[in-house]
């Protein structure tokens, strides 16, 4: 390794040799870098999981446009209701070929072992197949049977194994909101940060479960457009049909991206994750700085000797950056492995969609290099104390 | 005509500012011939180390003139002084070897100051120097595994590795036994004769005086005695 680095650097790899000369300190430094990496990965993983959780409900639907009430319109689940009349108004547009309302409500499901789960209900018209993911179109028709539901096999805190055999001809009974329902099929959606699972019911069953809700006030309206119609243009033209600020019209992709951005930048959870990432980076910088500055302090006489010999500042910068990059490059891998372990454990325990992505791993690796280099730059200030005249 | 390697004229030096300002050197004048071995002597605080660091481009010259290898150091900038230091060799009383580098690697640093080079040739040159100083069997030893005398010899090899024009040394033989100490100084003398390498050293070792061409004594920041060394006297009185 020494010979390889010497060829690479064009000089003796003093930084590498210094680090290897103190294995105890090196291990502590690597543990520190790995710990900081885990902190950052966990926060990024949770943030990514939240973004993924936000996106999942949107992926259930495949409309061309989504009409949402302007109040709390940044979030699919929190948005206020809007008059169904808006759908009929939209159908007047020549490029709008169809529309369907969605009704959303939340309820707590208390299972037999007294565990409770927060369930997000979507109430859909059974013939809304063209507006939903193709895998849901067929089971949706079966929901026309009263008091039936498609239940989420990934629902947290509830043993869903008994629902695996749910079928329209052999419904699995369960109780919700004081009503006896029958599961006639399953979906695999999973909970996010706002709930533990997602159940799909027909609009009529939805009104039975949530009697205070009215068919006249859906949560959202889905629109299908003529193939070839430009959704952006149609959205602009539709907006002119409504009173100002009466609705917000977006494509599903736009709405999903906007909600992810909103959750990440304006909601406390997203900000907490972002803050956690910053804390992780600071911890990493501090740990690397401590190691590098201690190393400079320990070798101050040797550095002063090198200064006396005529080595320039660039040489010392090179040594410290060499150490910083080695710490980052080696410390990253145990951090990555521990984070992967953490992701898997968390996903197993909570069913939240948390997993390592290549772009995240690469970004954190580059960030680790930069953070360690910054620590090195800070540690270089100690080099000023290396005064060659004091050696005599 | 004898060539001058170092020429010091009306050199004064101060430490501190304001009321704390203390003068360390007073009107020092000295010319050191190329290839000679000059010993600086004097009690502690006499200014010999300050003079050594000024001549060695390790401090800024405040007043007076120091010409080193025909370059004026007064009002020279830091970059010029660093460039000049690459032509010098330093041997410190505390050897200041890098603890994570082997003896060979420490000596190679003396070569690498001049930039990229062939690592194999650097290693061969380092091995040769260390062998010359009796450390051929200790090439891959870390300083922690060497005795004080061995470390000092590695430090001497490091200083000589870049073939310096001038060697500045502070008690270079303090950690060496009589035989090794004399061998090291004879090496400086040989380099002076063969390459014209000038050596200026601070020492209290009376054995060295026998080999010195010149002995300069300082007291309270002033040169109080400047005489030819025993070597010079012996040379001048030796029968033809």
CATH of the domain at B11: 3.40.50.300
Calculate the alpha carbon distances from A293 to A300, A307, A375, A382, B7 in Å. 10, 18, 9, 7, 40
Instruction: Tell me, yes or no, whether A298 lies in a domain.
Output: yes
The answer to whether the Cβ–Cβ distance between A18 and B100 falls below 8 Å is yes
pLDDT greater than 70 at residue B2: no
Instruction: Tell me, yes or no, whether B179 lies in a domain.
Output: no
Closest by Cβ to B58, choosing from A6, A10, A389: A389
pLDDT greater than 50 at residue B95: yes
Average pLDDT over residues A239-255: 87
The answer to whether the Cβ–Cβ distance between B116 and A10 falls below 8 Å is yes
Q: What is the pLDDT of residue A385?
A: 74
- Residues of B in Cβ contact (< 8 Å) with A6: 119
Treating both helix axes as pointing N-terminal to C-terminal, what angle do A252-265 and A23-59 enclose, rounded to 10 degrees? 140
From A20, which residue of chain B is nearest by alpha-carbon distance?
B100
**CA neighbours closer than 13 Å in the CB half-sphere of residue A377:** 7
Same domain assignment for residues A7 and A80: no
* Helices marked H in chain A: 2-9, 14-21, 23-59, 85-91, 134-142, 203-209, 231-239, 252-265, 268-298, 300-309, 313-350, 358-379
Average pLDDT over residues A39-54: 88
Given CB atoms, is B101 within the 8 Å cutoff of chain A? yes
Chain B 79-98, residues with CB within 8 Å of chain A CB atoms: 82-86, 88, 90, 92-94, 96-98
Same domain assignment for residues A340 and A320: yes
Instruction: Tell me, yes or no, whether B191 lies in a domain.
Output: no
From A301, which residue of chain B is nearest by alpha-carbon distance?
B96
Same domain assignment for residues A109 and A137: yes
Same domain assignment for residues A315 and A368: yes
Q: What is the pLDDT of residue B240?
A: 34
Instruction: Tell me, yes or no, whether B109 lies in a domain.
Output: no
Q: What is the pLDDT of residue A262?
A: 86
Same domain assignment for residues A10 and A96: no
Same domain assignment for residues A104 and A218: yes
Q: What is the pLDDT of residue B237?
A: 43
Same domain assignment for residues A374 and A239: no
Q: What is the pLDDT of residue B233?
A: 58
Instruction: Tell me, yes or no, whether B16 lies in a domain.
Output: yes
Average pLDDT over residues B88-110: 91
Q: What is the pLDDT of residue A163?
A: 86
pLDDT in tens, B175-184: 788 888 888 8
- Residues of A in Cβ contact (< 8 Å) with B82: 307, 310, 312
Chain B 109-128, residues with CB within 8 Å of chain A CB atoms: 109-110, 112-113, 116, 119
Residue ending a domain, choose from A221, A250, A279: A250
The answer to whether the Cβ–Cβ distance between B105 and A312 falls below 8 Å is no
pLDDT greater than 80 at residue A392: no
pLDDT greater than 70 at residue A193: yes
Instruction: Tell me, yes or no, whether A256 lies in a domain.
Output: no
Q: What share of chain B is helix, strand, coil (3-state, %, to 5)?
A: 40, 25, 35
> Counting Cβ atoms within 10 Å, is residue A143 exposed (0-12), middle (13-18) or buried (19+)?
buried
Same domain assignment for residues A363 and A333: yes
pLDDT greater than 80 at residue B109: yes
**CA neighbours closer than 13 Å in the CB half-sphere of residue A340:** 10
Given CB atoms, is B40 within the 8 Å cutoff of chain A? no
Instruction: Tell me, yes or no, whether A255 lies in a domain.
Output: no
| Phi, psi values for residue A270, rounded to 5° | -65, -40
Helix (H) or strand (E) holding B160: helix B148-161
Same domain assignment for residues A376 and A352: yes
Q: How many A/B residue pairs have CB atoms within 8 Å?
A: 76
pLDDT greater than 70 at residue A378: yes
For residue B227, what are the domain limits? Answer: 1-87+197-240
Q: Are B98 and A302 in contact (CB under 8 A)?
A: yes
Tell me the three-class secondary structure of A226-241, residue by residue. Answer: CCCCCHHHHHHHHHCC
Q: What is the pLDDT of residue B236?
A: 46
How many separate domains does chain A show? 2
Q: What is the pLDDT of residue B1?
A: 45
Chain B 151-190, residues with CB within 8 Å of chain A CB atoms: 162, 170
> Under DSSP, is residue A370 helix (H, G, I), strand (E, B) or coil?
helix
pLDDT greater than 50 at residue B163: yes
Give the mean pLDDT of chain A.
Answer: 88
Only one residue has tokens 């010149």, namely B214
How many separate domains does chain B show? 1
Instruction: Tell me, yes or no, whether B119 lies in a domain.
Output: no
Instruction: Tell me, yes or no, whether B180 lies in a domain.
Output: no
Same domain assignment for residues A198 and A108: yes
Tell me the nearest-neighbour CA distance from A7 into chain B, angstroms.
Answer: 8
The dihedral built from the CA positions of residue B72, B77, B78 and B83, taken in this order, carries a sign that is negative
Query: Parallel, antiparallel, or unpaired: how do β-strands A197-202 and A116-124 relate?
Result: parallel
From B169, which residue of chain A is nearest by alpha-carbon distance?
A392
Q: Which is more confidently placed, B122 or A390?
A: B122
pLDDT greater than 90 at residue B174: no
Instruction: Tell me, yes or no, whether A245 lies in a domain.
Output: yes
Q: Which is more confidently placed, A193 or B203?
A: B203
The answer to whether the Cβ–Cβ distance between B100 and A306 falls below 8 Å is no
Average pLDDT over residues A318-345: 93
Same domain assignment for residues A208 and A307: no
Average pLDDT over residues B21-48: 91
pLDDT in tens, B49-82: 899 999 999 998 989 999 999 899 998 888 899 9
pLDDT greater than 90 at residue A53: no
Of A179, A70, A51, whose CA–CA distance to A121 is shortest? A179
Instruction: Tell me, yes or no, whether B98 lies in a domain.
Output: no
For residue A83, what are the domain limits? Answer: 65-250
pLDDT greater than 70 at residue A289: yes
pLDDT in tens, A293-305: 888 888 888 889 9
Q: Are B197 and B87 in contact (CB under 8 A)?
A: no
Q: What is the pLDDT of residue B231?
A: 63
- Out of A58-62, B69-73, B117-121, pick the least confident: B117-121
Closest by Cβ to A305, choosing from B56, B96, B142: B96
Q: What is the pLDDT of residue B96?
A: 86
Q: What is the pLDDT of residue B215?
A: 93
pLDDT greater than 90 at residue B229: no
The answer to whether the Cβ–Cβ distance between A391 and B92 falls below 8 Å is yes
Instruction: Tell me, yes or no, whether B5 lies in a domain.
Output: yes
The CA distance from A11 to A233, in Å, is: 63
Instruction: Tell me, yes or no, whether A228 lies in a domain.
Output: yes
Same domain assignment for residues A94 and A162: yes
């Amino acid at each position: 390794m020494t010979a390889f680095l010497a060829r690479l650097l064009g000089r003796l790899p003093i930084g590498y040799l210094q680090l290897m000369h103190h294995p105890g300190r090196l291990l502590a430094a690597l543990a520190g870098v790995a710990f900081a990496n885990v902190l950052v990965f966990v926060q990024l993983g949770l943030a990514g999981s939240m973004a993924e959780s936000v996106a999942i409900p949107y992926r259930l639907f495949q409309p061309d446009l989504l009409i949402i009430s302007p109040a709390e319109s940044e979030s699919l689940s929190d948005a206020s209701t809007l008059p169904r009349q808006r759908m009929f108004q939209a159908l007047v547009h020549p490029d709008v070929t169809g529309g369907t309302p969605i009704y959303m409500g939340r309820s707590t499901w208390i299972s037999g072992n007294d565990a409770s789960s927060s369930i997000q209900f979507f109430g859909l018209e059974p013939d809304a197949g063209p507006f939903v993911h193709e895998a849901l179109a067929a089971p949706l028709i079966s929901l026309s049977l009263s008091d039936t539901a498609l239940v989420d096999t990934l629902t947290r805190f509830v043993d869903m194994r008994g629902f695996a055999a749910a079928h329209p001809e052999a419904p699995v009974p369960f109780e919700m909101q004081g009503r006896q329902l029958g599961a006639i099929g399953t979906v695999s959606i999973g909970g996010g940060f706002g709930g533990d699972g997602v159940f799909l019911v027909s609009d009529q069953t939805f009104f039975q479960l949530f009697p205070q809700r009215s068919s006249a006030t859906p949560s959202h309206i889905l629109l299908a457009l003529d193939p070839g119609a430009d959704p952006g243009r149609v959205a602009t033209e539709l907006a002119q049909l409504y009173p100002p600020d009466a609705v917000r019209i977006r494509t599903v992709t736009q709405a999903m991206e906007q909600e992810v951005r909103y959750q990440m930048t304006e909601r406390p959870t997203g900000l907490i994750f972002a803050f956690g990432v910053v804390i992780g980076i600071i911890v990493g910088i501090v740990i690397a700085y401590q190691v590098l500055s201690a190393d400079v302090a320990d070798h101050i006489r040797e550095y002063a000797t090198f200064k006396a010999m005529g080595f320039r500042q660039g040489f010392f910068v090179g040594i410290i950056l060499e150490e910083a990059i080695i710490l980052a490059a080696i410390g990253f891998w145990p951090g990555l492995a521990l984070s992967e372990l953490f992701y898997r454990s968390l996903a197993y325990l909570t069913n939240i969609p948390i997993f390592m992505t290549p772009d995240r791993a690469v970004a954190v690796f580059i960030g680790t290099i930069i953070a360690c280099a910054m620590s090195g730059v800070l540690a270089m200030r100690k080099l000023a104390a290396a005064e060659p005249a004091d050696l005599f | 005509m004898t060539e001058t390697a170092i020429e010091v004229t009306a050199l004064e030096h101060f430490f501190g500012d304001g009321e704390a300002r203390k003068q360390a050197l007073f009107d020092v004048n000295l010319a050191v011939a190329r290839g000679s071995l000059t010993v600086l002597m004097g009690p502690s605080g006499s200014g010999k180390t300050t003079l050594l660091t000024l001549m060695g481009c390790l401090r800024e010259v405040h007043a007076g003139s120091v010409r080193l290898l025909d370059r004026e150091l007064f009002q020279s900038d830091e970059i010029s002084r660093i460039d000049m230091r690459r032509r010098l060799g330093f041997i410190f009383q505390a050897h200041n070897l890098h603890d994570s580098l082997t003896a060979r690697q420490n000596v190679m640093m003396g070569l690498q100051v001049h930039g990229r080079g062939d690592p194999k040739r650097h290693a061969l040159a380092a091995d040769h120097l260390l062998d010359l100083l009796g450390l051929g069997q200790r090439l891959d030893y870390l300083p922690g595994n060497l005795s004080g005398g061995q470390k000092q010899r590695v430090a001497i090899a490091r200083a000589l590795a870049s073939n310096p024009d001038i060697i500045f040394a502070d008690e270079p033989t303090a950690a060496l036994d009589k035989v090794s100490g004399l061998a090291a100084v004879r090496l400086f003398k040989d380099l002076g004769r063969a390459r014209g390498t000038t050596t200026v050293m601070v020492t209290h070792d009376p054995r060295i005086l026998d080999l010195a061409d010149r002995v300069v004594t300082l007291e309270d920041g002033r040169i109080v005695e400047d005489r030819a060394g025993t070597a010079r006297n012996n040379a001048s009185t030796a029968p033809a």
